[in-house]
Amino acid sequence: MTQEIESQLKKMKQQGKYIALSLFPAFGKSTIEKEGNRMMVNEGRDGKYEEVSESFYDSMVVKYDSRA
């Protein structure tokens, strides 16, 4: 799954698209945890992913988020 996410983000960056990543707790949870979170690309319009670790999300923000 992580390779799929990074591949999509890399492609979007190469195309010059705006990328805003956000991390949310898993359904039924109220806080973000080390594992099992939900990640949205551009508020979910360009991708919604389950079971994302906080560390993976952080690394994707550094590499791909347009706001970083």
Which carries the bigger pLDDT value, residue 49 or residue 68? 49
Instruction: Pick the closest to residue 9 from 67, 68, 50, 60 (CA basis).
Output: 60
Structural Rg of the chain based on CA atoms: 11
Beta-strand runs (E) in 1-62: 21-24, 37-41, 48-52
**pLDDT tens per residue, range 14-67:** 999 999 999 999 999 999 999 999 999 999 999 999 999 999 999 999 999 999
pLDDT for 1: 83
Compute the distance between CA of residue 67 and CA of residue 52 in angstroms, rounded to an integer: 20
